[in-house]
Structure 1
């Protein structure tokens, strides 16, 4: 209960003001976000800010059930960061070093979905070059299929790669877009599903105002 209260307070006092006032977010299709789990949000990944922006889209009362899936080697690398990531943000640490079998890799994720939680995943696997999509990995397909064909809602963010790119330590105020897409369900073919997500990402990127300005 203490962790949940701390999480809500952190987002109320710090994160939401930074995201919606400091950065300035153009938010499209907020109503398409799932309001309950089990559900998976699949988003592109360009910035340290991505997770905070995604979580800020949810009401404070829903935040305890919103769980980012994040790299264990990065977020658990020291005691202070591990405490903050686990107790305040509520991450589900993921071993991306290839040392765990698939069933073991997703065990905690499936357990969270069974509890009716909403997972935030980045199918690209890691942050890429600012505002550039990387090839999507098939892990999101296997997770969604193994968890009772859980729906995957696509979200595209644009502009955060300039606000706080890989290697940056302080956010710079740049206007950014967040476009929520449709919910997709895994079928019997991983490649087909990933192609569907890729197509959705491209369509949502085309709606971003900041991308049109750059062009």
Structure 2
């Protein structure tokens, strides 16, 4: 209830007033899970904006994956991240225990969650797509029948880019793509992921900053 109140009366209104959101195909957004939303990552605002797109049952089911070493590093940030954003914290480390690393995400998917995931890992350079890490492949291999939906954000890298503490109001374009399914061929899967994200980015015909 507290999460709903904070997003409804504080976060969502601020985002809608300060940022001009131009959303293509919003009706394609899922209203229930399990499903994995993959998006590019340029700003700390990405997750708040994405969560704000969901309402009703979809909002209740939406859970972003985030780096535990960052979002759990102090009490206030941890409280907000766990209780309001409802993040699924994971450790950013090299490990051979892939199943153990992704276990919290798989459990959330089994509960019908809408998972928000950034295949690039950490935030990249403003408005530039970084190379996607293969973690998404190993995650989806655990639940190959769950759909994956690409979503491209443009503008938030200008509003609050990596390394900046100064927020600049800016128009934000959001492109929602069609869901697709896992392919056990890793190269083919990663190629398709890149192609779908590139296609969404190219829809905007954006100029370089």
The TM-score bracket by the shorter chain reads over 0.9
Cα shift at 1:30: 0.9
Residue by residue, what CA displacement relative to the aligned partner does 1:122-166 show, whole Å, maximum 9, x if unpaired? 000010110010000111122122024211100000010000101
| Equivalent in the alignment of 1:142 | 138
For normalisation by structure 2, the TM-score amounts to 0.94
Which range is displaced more, 195-204 or 17-26?
17-26
Which runs of at least 4 in structure 1 moved beyond 4 Å after TM superposition?
Answer: none
Contact 2:32 2:57 in 1 (8 A): no
Distance 1:50 1:35 in 2: 19
Aligned 1:168-207 pairs, distance under 5 A: 168-207=164-203
Cα shift at 1:64: 2.2
Cα shift at 1:62: 2.6
| Equivalent in the alignment of 2:149 | 153
Q: Could you list the runs of 5+ residues in structure 2 that have no partner in the other structure? A: none
Q: Does 1:40 pair with 2:36?
A: yes
| Equivalent in the alignment of 1:133 | 129
Count of equivalent residues: 209
Contact 1:178 1:208 in 2 (8 A): no
Cα shift at 1:100: 6.5
Distance 1:162 1:78 in 2: 27
Q: Does 1:87 pair with 2:94?
A: no
Distance 1:132 1:22 in 2: 23
Residue by residue, what CA displacement relative to the aligned partner does 1:160-214 show, whole Å, maximum 9, x if unpaired? 00001012234311101000001111111122111111111111111226x25x5
Q: Could you list the runs of 5+ residues in structure 1 that have no partner in the other structure? A: none
RMSD between superposed Cα atoms in Å: 1.5
For normalisation by structure 1, the TM-score amounts to 0.92
